[in-house]
């Protein structure tokens, strides 16, 4: 096993929590409990992002913010049909081809869970087999026999829905399969870093946390960056591996290490930080690879706060992100943990990068 029992348990627990955009409360509760168990106080912004602070003894300490996002892609119930089935809007980006016949979970406003599925037609009933069913055509079935029955069970417009995606260890632990590695791996790495640095004196204040609503436009990034106002933000997220179609020539190959993300749709990387990241990964003997993304991360909104916040992305790639069956490489995860710890300790020494 590449990951130890505790590391695997943290990843399994975090990925399996219900938490689509706008309904991150259970993920927040988990982080709160674990930050507090490590002996740290927790803080929240008014949108629901959470962070903890490992305070420095240095009175003029600079601030470093290590952050991932709590939300996963999901759906919001938009209509209850007379036969008890429901329809829903997407929360975040889905490929509709990945959705039909998935098992889903609905959470009511009162916190009750219902299991169900997304209906699919058998091939002999398809009028046009080339038609890709869109999300606004999909019918979700939670087993209710009428609209009245659904309502009397507490089902309401606005309820949150996610796809089920059980956690499995593959190939003796070399690869991991689950829903929501995007971005529960970022939160898990934050916890790992806190555990390792708990008793290490740092010259800077270290904030570690999770934002809300990244998948619908990096909204928690705005408010949490405003609340923390860091001198340096490090965004840990999960990007799409490009080799899931068998093509190994693109940037972003599973198992090839931490992503050095030079640009994406909402941030051109700070060149000094990217050079520092590369140099640090080489000194730490951590595998890294270059990455360019048509998507974005919370970094896009964090770096534009105030008069600009120096922001570095520290991401991993996984296959099939934004589906219930995401594949992560265990060695990549170990490299990310090792690399983050090295970078933070190196920042503390202040010789190679001045905060
Ligand atoms: Zn993400």
Same domain as 223, residue 90: no
Same domain as 140, residue 13: no
Same domain as 345, residue 216: yes
Question: Residue 174 C-alpha to ligand 1 middle, in angstroms?
Answer: 22
Q: Residue 247 falls within a domain, yes or no? A: yes
Q: pLDDT band at 1, cuts 50/70/90?
A: low
Same domain as 128, residue 12: no
Decide which of 138, 163, 188 is a domain's last residue.
163
Decide which of 163, 198, 227 is a domain's last residue.
163
Angle between the 181-197 and 5-16 helix axes, to the nearest 10 degrees? 140
Q: Residue 168 falls within a domain, yes or no? A: no
pLDDT at residue 161, as a whole number? 98
Same domain as 226, residue 259: yes
Catalytic one among 214, 215, 282, 331? 214
Burial class (CB in 10 A: 0-12, 13-18, 19+), 272: exposed
Owner of token pair 């010259």: 203
pLDDT tens digits, residue range 20-66? 999 999 999 999 999 999 999 999 999 999 999 999 999 999 999 99
Q: Give the separation between CA 17 and CA 336, rounded to whole angstroms.
A: 22
Same domain as 193, residue 265: yes
Q: Residue 174 falls within a domain, yes or no? A: no
Same domain as 67, residue 84: no
Distances (CA, A) of 24 to 21, 49, 194, 296, 354: 6, 9, 21, 20, 35
Residue 295 has pLDDT above 80, yes or no: yes
214 is catalytic: yes
The residue range of the domain holding 311 is 5-72+179-349
Q: Give the separation between CA 255 and CA 329, rounded to whole angstroms.
A: 5
Question: Residue 148 C-alpha to ligand 1 middle, in angstroms?
Answer: 37
Same domain as 94, residue 59: no
Q: What CATH number is given to the structural domain containing 259?
A: 3.40.630.10
Question: Residue 221 C-alpha to ligand 1 middle, in angstroms?
Answer: 12
Question: Residue 186 C-alpha to ligand 1 middle, in angstroms?
Answer: 9
Question: Residue 49 C-alpha to ligand 1 middle, in angstroms?
Answer: 15
**Dihedral sign, CA of 135, 254, 184, 214?**
negative
Q: Residue 265 falls within a domain, yes or no? A: yes
Question: Residue 181 C-alpha to ligand 1 middle, in angstroms?
Answer: 8
Same domain as 98, residue 61: no
Q: What CATH number is given to the structural domain containing 141?
A: 2.40.30.40
Q: Residue 226 falls within a domain, yes or no? A: yes
Residue 248 has pLDDT above 90, yes or no: no
Same domain as 121, residue 49: no
Question: Residue 129 C-alpha to ligand 1 middle, in angstroms?
Answer: 32
Same domain as 318, residue 227: yes
Q: Residue 354 falls within a domain, yes or no? A: no
Mean pLDDT of the residues in the chain: 96
Distances (CA, A) of 227 to 52, 125, 256: 12, 54, 35
Q: Residue 170 falls within a domain, yes or no? A: no
Same domain as 185, residue 208: yes
Decide which of 134, 163, 192 is a domain's last residue.
163
pLDDT tens digits, residue range 225-237? 999 999 999 999 9
Pick from 65-79, 116-130, 332-346: least confident:
116-130
- What is the total count of domains within the chain? 2
Q: What is the pTM of this model?
A: 0.97
| Half-sphere exposure of residue 192: CA atoms within 13 angstroms, side-chain side | 29
**11 alpha-carbon distance from chain centroid:** 12
Q: Give the separation between CA 97 and CA 121, rounded to whole angstroms.
A: 13
Q: Residue 214 falls within a domain, yes or no? A: yes
């Amino acid at each position: 096993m590449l990951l130890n029992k505790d590391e695997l348990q943290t990843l399994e627990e975090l990925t399996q929590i219900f938490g689509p955009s706008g309904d991150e409360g259970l993920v927040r509760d988990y982080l709160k409990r674990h930050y507090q168990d490590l002996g740290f106080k927790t803080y929240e912004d008014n949108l629901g992002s959470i962070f903890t602070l490992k305070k420095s003894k240095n009175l003029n300490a600079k601030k470093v913010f290590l952050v991932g996002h709590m939300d996963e892609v999901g759906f919001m119930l938009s209509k209850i049909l007379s036969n008890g089935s429901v329809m829903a809007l997407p929360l975040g980006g889905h490929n509709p081809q990945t959705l039909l016949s998935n098992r889903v979970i609905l959470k009511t406003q009162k916190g009750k869970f219902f299991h169900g599925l997304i209906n699919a037609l058998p091939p002999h009933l398809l009028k046009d087999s080339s038609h890709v069913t869109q999300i606004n055509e999909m019918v979700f079935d939670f087993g209710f026999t009428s609209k009245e029955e659904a309502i009397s069970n507490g089902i309401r417009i606005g309820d949150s829905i996610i796809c089920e995606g059980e956690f499995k260890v593959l190939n003796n632990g070399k690869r991991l399969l689950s829903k929501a590695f995007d971005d529960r791996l970022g939160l898990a790495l934050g916890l790992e870093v806190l555990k390792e640095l708990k008793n290490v004196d740092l010259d800077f204040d270290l904030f570690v946390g999770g934002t809300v609503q990244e998948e619908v436009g990096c909204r928690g990034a705005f408010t949490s960056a405003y609340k923390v106002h860091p001198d340096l933000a490090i965004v840990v997220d999960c990007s799409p591996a490009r080799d899931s179609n068998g093509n190994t020539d693109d940037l972003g190959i599973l198992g090839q290490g931490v992503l050095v993300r030079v640009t994406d749709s909402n941030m051109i990387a700070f060149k000094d930080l990217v050079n520092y990241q590369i140099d640090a990964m080489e000194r730490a003997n951590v595998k890294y690879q270059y990455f360019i993304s048509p998507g974005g991360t919370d970094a896009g909104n964090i770096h534009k706060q105030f008069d600009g916040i120096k922001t570095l992305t520290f991401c991993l790639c996984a296959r099939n992100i934004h589906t219930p069956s995401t594949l992560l490489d265990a060695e990549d995860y170990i490299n990310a943990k090792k690399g983050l710890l090295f970078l933070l300790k190196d920042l503390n020494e202040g010789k190679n990068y001045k905060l």
